[in-house]
Amino acid sequence: MTNPNVIFLDQLGSLAEQVAGVLLEGLEGHPYDLTSTEVWVPTAGAARRIRHKLAELSAKRGGGVLSPKFSKPMAALLPRSGKGGVIASRVDREAAWGLVLRDVDKSTVATLFPSPEVLEGEQFLVGAGAMMCELCDRLAEGGKTPLHPKIIEVCSDDVGRWQEMDPLYRSYLSVLSRHGLQDPNELKIRGEEGSLPSMKRLFIACVPDLQSVTEKRAARLMEQGVEVCVLVWKPRPMDGQFDPWGRPKTGYWIDALIPLQPDHIQMAKDPADEAAGAVEFLAGAGGSHAIVLGDPKLSATFQAEILRRGGSPFLPEGKPLARTEAAVVAAEWIKFRADQSLRTLRRLLELPGFSAWIGAQCGLSLHELLACCDYLTIDLLAESLSQAEAFLVGTSRAKETRFLGILSASLALGAAELVKEIWAGKADLVEDVLDACAEVKASPVARTWPEAVDPLLLRSFSRRSVYGSSKPTDTDLAGWLEAPWCDAQRLAVCGCVEGSLPSSLDGHPFLPDAVRGSLGIADNSSLRARDHYLLACLIHSQEARPHGKILCSFSKFGPDGSPSTPSGLLMRCPSEQLPERVIRLFQKSASGVARPKRKPEWRWSLPQVAQHGEPRISPTDFKKYLECPFRFYLSRRLGLETHDQGAREMHPGQFGELIHGALQRFAEHSRDETDRNKISKAVLGHLEDLTMEMFGSDPSPAVRVQIQAAKIRLQSFARVQHGLRNDGWKIIAWEKKIEAGALGSSLIGGLPLSGKIDRIDEHDEKGLRVIDYKTQGKLITPQKAHFASRSFLEQARVPGEGRALYWKDLQLPIYRMIVEALNPGRPIEAAYLALTADPQESRIVSLPLNEGLMESAQRCAEEVGSRVRRGVFWPPQSLPSNARDPYDMLFKDGTFEQCIDEATIAFLKGVEDTLP
């Protein structure tokens, strides 16, 4: 067999231009006709640059060019149509493998699939199918299918699995064949016509890793009379050895030295430093610059740095289709149809296409749609569509009802139909997604397996990329194989770390490195040799270029903080230089510049809100104020409540409200009940009614379990209430509204009181008892709840000997004051009715209050009232370390004064009391 003609491209300047020059050689104008020429290129970018140079060169000669066909070599092998039928698409192939694996007798593939659960469920079958497709694609590069006898010979350590693979692969082919389809790899290997029928010339343009199957095809074309020419990049004066197909010879290149000088190498601490260094290097080129990323994981950091430095980055590799809005809509819709979860719905509503579509149908704005969803998930705690629907039956919530009604009716739409509906008339915007949908829909194999359609579609999304628009002035973040085609004065090759550059395989389930070479597939040595060769070319080429410079950089630590190993390519220097090179590459990481010092540069400038409406203070306000006047301002004045978007169950406050509600209804309707069972029945009945009102007939699962917990507490209430009745206590008031002036004529600190008392009981002999319901986890006695060992407010001090004691809550003393004012002269007790998590602990617990205590409570209350009236909400207090502070986010920069701006602080310090 004769070898192809090899042309070494050794001129200075752009590689693409040299290739274009060769292509145009000997052609005459009007037009320069290359339509009978095919060019195999290593990357899409290479084709684009060559076409550009063809246009430029032909223009210089006064014409244009009818372009050749450009292909990557493996793609070039695919016939335009299969003689024995249609060529199977990737979807067909994954589905066919999935079906084979679904139907196989598991006992016959026990070596291959020792964990049979891999073969359960469409998602996993399709996944396993995809894995098989990948394996076959790799084998095809070496011109083999799983049936090739060489495999058993080469993979002798793994015979069992390959033997099991044999019948599976045959079944796969027969599934395809049953549907009139042909496997593309079989066609490529068989070498049926794939290239232009009229092809006269084939150029293999600088493909340093030409697959062996494509080499065979080229050889066959030569036999058929096609002129095959191999173009090899070899900038002068570089030496090198190549095989007849222009591939760098592994034996030669793996040991070859790379003329990299120390000043070509830059070691950075981390990717951010590396990106900064690279951009700085490029900035000196006046625009003629290019970046190549050896490690694709760096792209986010480099994009960010280029943007910071006023450039505009572009990713030629494109963006995964799965990240586009239409694909996300389709994927989330598939999920929503399956789980009907309101959390999935919320994600859909955040997608403008979907929300505009559903909003238009139900006449709701985006704001209203999101608010509806928040209501259902946060207030109602509904998890699913059905729970929300069950709640809405018979309610007056028209927006939610309309929204869910339309949504339910839309569930019949499939993902593709939904995308079409949403983007009706704008199909060009979602062309790629519709293509993927059409591919699955058109697959004859997928048609026989409807359950697999959604997993196949999702896989199709994840496989595809979309290519955005770039501007001519964008800085491309090109991949390593694009490097030879970058035509710039300054070239930064970044991410030179082992594993990425040179790239290597690190183990494989079927094709470990040791067997690849024998199977004709690229192995670590050949990849390393290729990368040695390319880097050597780049250095020669850049050095020869006027003002040309190259930088090879790596960072000591990768994007995830793990240490990286510098690329072995950087160490291919003469032996005597190696120690210095190694010391340079492996030195301790250059210490990073200390992070800029934290200064409280952004201080919160909070709204300065004066009291709205008629000023009042409630008995529960005192605790809040005494805990922290500043937080009191945030919650009571500004009404800042945290919005728990992740809520899956009632928060303590809601849980308390539910129990309070049931107890209030009990007091209202069943207070005279004396029988424990009847008390229990009554209060549980009230709970049931309330639950229905609050959460509908189908509350979310977590809420249902919480309701059970509430029942336990209410059963313990029945025990306590039964005891109280037996003792002679009667309920005389409940939800007792505290009227303005409840304390007679006097106000508290100049403010009238407002609020409600949970309950007041009366005993013929013992007098009155004012009760506050508590639904804590553990029993907290009123003593513990009302007194602290310190306070910012001197007036909170309780007079007495010994250890200082301060009021931290005034609820029960205030209640007592109110009841006393209404019932002068009667003995009054103030107590908690604690309903705790441990039902045994539930009980009445009183707070003993003597005159001295009442006086000091009054004094404290007066001071708090006065401060609130005067707008004094300073100083803030540190909360105990175990307390949950919803406002802690405001205090990230140190002390309170460092976090809040001066004007706000001045406002919060309030005004002097001018009242007598």
Partner 1 sequence: MKDAIGNVMLVANAGSGKTYELTTRMVRLLALGEDPRKIAALTFTKKAAGEFLDEVFLRLAEAALEEEKLLKLSQDIGQSISREQCLELLDKLACQCGSLNMGTIDSLFARIARSFPLESGLAGDFSMLGESDLYTARTEALAAIFREGLQNDEDAESFIDLIRRISRKEGEREIFGTLLRSVESFHETYLRTPDDVSWGDPKTIWPGGFPLENVKDAISAADQFEREVRKEHPDLGKKASDTLSKKMAEIKEHIPGTEWSGPLATFIKAKLCGELEIDSNGSRCFVLGASGAANKVHMRGGVEAARDELRASLLKPIFEKLLRRSAALHRFMAKFEECYGARTRKAGRLTFSDITDLLASHVEKIDWRASVGYRLDSRFDHWLLDEFQDTSRSQWKILHSLIDEAVQDESGRRSLFYVGDTKQAIYSWRGGDPRLFFEIEKEYNAGGAKVIGREELNISRRSTKPVVDFINKVFEDLSSVSHEMGYSATLLKEWKEAWAEHVVWDENEKKKGYVFWERLESSDDAEESSSQDLKILEILRKVEPWNRGWSCAVLKTKNSHAAALASLLQSEGIPVAVEGKSNPCTDNALGIALLAAFRLVASPEDKFSKTLIESSPLGSLVFNDGLESFRENALSLIADEGYEALIREWTKDLTLPPFLDSRLGDFLAAAADYDTVSTGSIWDFVSHIESHSQQEQESSGVVRIMTVHQSKGLTFDMSIVSGLDGKAGQSTEKLYLGGNNRSHRDWGCLMPSKDIAESDPVMAEARNALKKEEHYGTLCASYVAVTRSRRALYIVTDKLPDDSEAKHFGRLLELSLAPGSLVYEKGDEDWFLEKKSSNRKADQIGSTTNEPEPVFLVPCTAGTPYALSPSSLAKKSASSAQSPEGAVRAAFSTDAADLGTEIHEVLSRIDWDINQPDLSKCSPSARELLEPFLRSEQAREVFTRPGEEWTNWNEKPFDLMIDGQWVSGCFDRVHIWHEGGRPVEALIYDYKTNRSTAEAIAREYQPQMDQYCKAASILLGIGIDKVRARTVPVRLSNGAN
180-199 residues near partner 1, rule: CB under 8 A: 184
Q: Does 250 bind partner 1 (CB under 8 A)?
A: no
Contact between residue 73 and residue 238 where contact means Cβ atoms under 8 Å apart: no
Min. distance of Cβ 333 from partner 1 in angstroms?
13
Residue 215's closest CA among 485, 520, 504? 520
- Please give the Cα distance from 716 to 718 (Å, whole number): 5
Phi-psi sector, 363: left (phi>0), alpha (psi -120 to 50), beta: left
Q: Which stretch binds partner 1 (CB under 8 A): 541-549, 747-755, 845-853, 887-895?
A: 887-895
Q: Cα 653 to chain center, whole Å?
A: 31
Contact between 390 and partner 1 per CB under 8 A: no
β-sheet bridge partners, residue 59: none
Residues in 635-674 that interact with partner 1 by CB under 8 A: 638-643, 645-646, 648-650, 652, 655
Find the helix or strand (DSSP H, E) in which 602 lies: none
**Can you tell me the distance from the alpha carbon of 214 to that of 233, in angstroms, rounded to the nearest whole number?**
19
Q: Segment near partner 1 (CB under 8 A), from 231-239, 600-608, 614-622, 845-853?
A: 600-608
CA distances from 211 to 39, 104, 523, 829 (A): 15, 33, 11, 92
Q: Please select the residue that binds partner 1; options are 801, 881, 915, 916, rule is CB under 8 A.
A: 881
Largest CA distance in the chain: 122
| Measured distance CA(784)–CA(812) in Å, rounded | 12
691 interacts with partner 1 by CB under 8 A? no
Residues 197-226 that bind partner 1 (CB under 8 A): none
d(CA 404, CA 772): 40
Q: How far is the CB of 307 from partner 1 (least distance, A)?
A: 7
Nearer to partner 1, 224 or 708 (CB): 708
| Residue (255 or 421) nearer to partner 1, CB | 255
Sheet strand arrangement including 201-205? 5-9, 227-233, 201-205, 37-40, 69-71
Q: Are 446 and 97 in contact (CB under 8 A)?
A: no
Q: Which of 204, 205, 258, 322 binds partner 1 (CB under 8 A)?
A: 322
Restricting to residues 502-531, name those near partner 1 by CB under 8 A: 502, 504, 506-509, 512-514, 524, 528
Whether residue 420 contacts residue 354, with contact meaning beta carbons closer than 8 Å, is answered with no
Cβ–Cβ < 8 Å for 221, 204: no
Q: Within 469-498, which residues bind partner 1 (CB under 8 A)?
A: 469-476, 486-489, 498
Question: What would the x/- binding string for partner 1 be over residues 395 to 424, using CB under 8 A?
Answer: ------------------------------
Per DSSP, 787 falls in state E
Please select the residue that binds partner 1; options are 705, 740, 804, 911, rule is CB under 8 A: 705
We find the least distance from the C-beta atom of residue 915 to partner 1, in angstroms, to be 31
List the interface residues with partner 1, window 102-161 (CB under 8 A): 112-115, 117-118, 123-125, 127-128, 130-131, 157-158
Indicate whether 600 belongs to the interface with partner 1 (CB under 8 A).
yes
- Which residues between 345 and 384 bind partner 1 (CB under 8 A)? 346-347, 350-353, 355, 365-367, 370-371, 374, 378, 383-384
Q: 275-304: which residues touch partner 1 (CB under 8 A)? A: 279-280, 282-283, 286-290, 299-301, 303-304
Closest CB to partner 1 among residues 437, 742: 437
Residue from 165, 458, 626, 710 in contact with partner 1 (CB under 8 A): 710
Choose between 56 and 193: whose C-beta lies nearer to partner 1. 56
Candidates 188, 182, 186; CA nearest to 148 is 186
* Interaction between residue 586 and partner 1 (CB under 8 A): yes
Report the site for partner 1 in 53-92 (rule: CB under 8 A): 54-56, 58-59, 62-67, 69, 71-72, 75, 78, 80-81, 89-90
Please, are residues 248 and 530 in contact by the beta-carbon 8 Å criterion?
Answer: yes
Token look-up 């050794």 returns: 10
Q: Binding residue for partner 1 (CB under 8 A) from 328, 551, 757, 908?
A: 328
Task: Tell me the two tokens of residue 174.
Answer: 């027969």
Residues in the chain: 916
Binds partner 1 (CB under 8 A): choice among 29, 251, 723, 799:
29
User: Among residue numbers 824 through 863, which ones bind partner 1 (CB under 8 A)?
Assistant: 835-841
Contact residues for 466 (Cβ-Cβ < 8 A; gap 6+):
318, 319, 320, 321, 324, 432
